[in-house]
Structure 1
């Protein structure tokens, strides 16, 4: 059956698109397979990854590109081999849309439920499907992709709240659960932006960690951080002795900053014996070096984490729904995607932008009358 709708979206045609110069155009999605789902998009979060990709910051982008990988909408076409999703379901998809699971592969990562680390990872945009066609993201009217990475949205979570959870939320929350953060864990969160605000709420509101320290350069976001659940706040630019005062006081640090200009040596000194530093922000340039004794003296671990598996996303959504954890977001019209990208780069988001596709929302309202 041929779909009776067009695939249109905001396309970046070159590096300048990151400066608010995306253009609305038609594009050709992957050919529909019986394992696919088409989503009529109502909401899409704006992620820093979108900007990195639009400007080829992480490497050459395959233009034209339609970014956006925090997608929520309703399933409008479902392949015959899809058993867990039906037409009309409210669903979402995050930063990953495929792995070797879609190709009947059996890599170690997929076998262990860690599909996000599969060497055949298909990103939701600027990537390739097994048949060689390009993947396109959610600054658009529709999205098409494999059902394995499409998740149902709990009824108690509004679509605009859910969208940023599908990448930003799981990226910040996954390292907390990986390293078993809980009531006896002392957690530090570096960077109080889109990712950081999820890490703070995840550690405090969802997991009930006994100590949650927000770490930022200045105190401009202190009040917000405390409202999100932080028990303490450190402004590194405002207190030259912050490192000495708080040495060895944390069990786990989640670093969300995407700037290579970070005092990594000082951050590592904050960790207690057997502490763990997890990098989730992805700078375009190498992170700074550090003295090996920062690791050796206290058996500190330096590691990283990337998004989360479909099951992790489902578990997080369920827990956030139960605990009432909600995104701090500002909604903008899908028509204003260029403005949202520029504003995000200028640090104006408090703390996530979500693009709302009003046309698709109006269609849904009419269909229910």
Structure 2
């Protein structure tokens, strides 16, 4: 079989009709000397995919192939690749495919904060090519943004760590999550259930915070030491006054988070970090006195060094995201988007059977 001149993907052609994507062929980006081509085996579904497909973060050029939790096999290496990757290696790609790699941010392992950041889908490179994501036969990416996957991590379980896992690992590790720390995970969904496992794996005393006790059993199975149901404990911020070193907000929206009282449960010097990126119309309201002694901020993805650390932790601690699998296809993507819209996922979806849909 000759090497494909065009890649195939399941693409959104109309934001208003995003739940009816179509199979398309598209041109890959120009192949540069440090690039890697990957034949995709699995790609899991991130909430970002749905936001972007719907146009919640602005209109995207079409066709729009989303997906940025990619596992696949290396099929082509540029002549300047120096990372040690080999043809046939099983690797992962997350939500970033390019940065300048020369600025202070890149050199200090802060590539997601580089001014030349290119996300895995829907963003233009400097030459104008708009990136296409992982609901596809292949992906082409600079070797720096490719990570090897250990043999003991199944591909369908490896995929969610590439973005969702990394997104929560970065603020946890940067804010001191570890032994002798009390860490709360607010929101037990696709991101939160992985954050809970990671925090426990890092050695923290972990609290799961949810609106009701419906997910208490899940939280305990995932490793939570404590569970707080905020609607069932209306005075919970008083009960847990001065308790937490770190709270990581993994809720899909910030509108239900009371930033007026939340700082009360923090220790002095504690940190509240959010990885929620809701609809761009949402606004955050804070009272200045709520910031006294507490820092509040948002976190963006994570560095490639942090992704390598995370994959090592996942391998050593045998961490497993809770997933369901759906064969990749027009119908499969529609099903995934509908399940995400209903909130009917426990807790991630991974697409499988890429070879059946796109061929070898």
TM over 0.5: yes
Is 2:108 the counterpart of 1:122? no
Cα shift readout 1:233-281 (whole Å, capped 9, x = no counterpart)? 1111222222221122111000011213122222222211111000111
- Alpha-carbon distance in 2 for matches of 1:8, 1:193: 31
| Deviation of 1:77 (Å) | 1.1
CA contact (8 A) 2:156 2:350 kept: yes
Deviation at 1:362, TM superposition (A): 11
In the superposition, the TM-score normalised over structure 2's length comes to 0.94
Matches within 5 A, 1:64-213: 64-83=63-82, 84-101=84-101, 106-204=102-200, 206-209=201-204, 211-213=205-207
Q: Work out the CA distance in 2 between the residues paired with 1:9 and 1:361.
A: 9
**Structure 1 residue 137, shift from structure 2 partner:** 0.2
- Name the structure 1 match of 2:209: 215
Cα distance in 1 between the residues matched to 2:4 and 2:348: 33
Q: Is residue 91–residue 153 contact of structure 1 (8 Å, CA) maintained in 2?
A: yes
Instruction: Note if 1:264 corresponds to 2:259.
Output: yes
Three-state SS of the structure 2 residue aligned to 1:30 is coil
- Compare 42-51 and 74-83 and name the one that shifted more: 74-83
For the residue of structure 1 that corresponds to 2:260, the secondary structure is helix
Q: Give 3-state SS (helix, strand or coil) of 1:41's partner.
A: strand
**Count of residue pairs brought into register by the alignment:** 354
The two structures have a TM-score, normalised by structure 1, of 0.92
Distance 1:319 1:173 in 2: 10
Residues 175-195 of structure 1 show CA distances to partners (whole Å, capped at 9, x for unaligned) of 111012111100011110011
In structure 1, stretches of 5+ residues that fail to align are: 365-369
CA contact (8 A) 1:141 1:360 kept: no
Q: Aligned partners of 1:361 and 1:339: how far apart in 2?
A: 16
Q: Does residue 1:44 correspond to 2:40, yes or no?
A: no
Deviation at residue 5 of structure 1 after TM alignment: 5.8
- SS in structure 2 at match of 1:189: strand
Matching of residue 322 in structure 1 with residue 316 in structure 2: yes
The alignment yields a C-alpha RMSD, in angstroms, of 1.7
What displacement does 1:286 show? 3.1
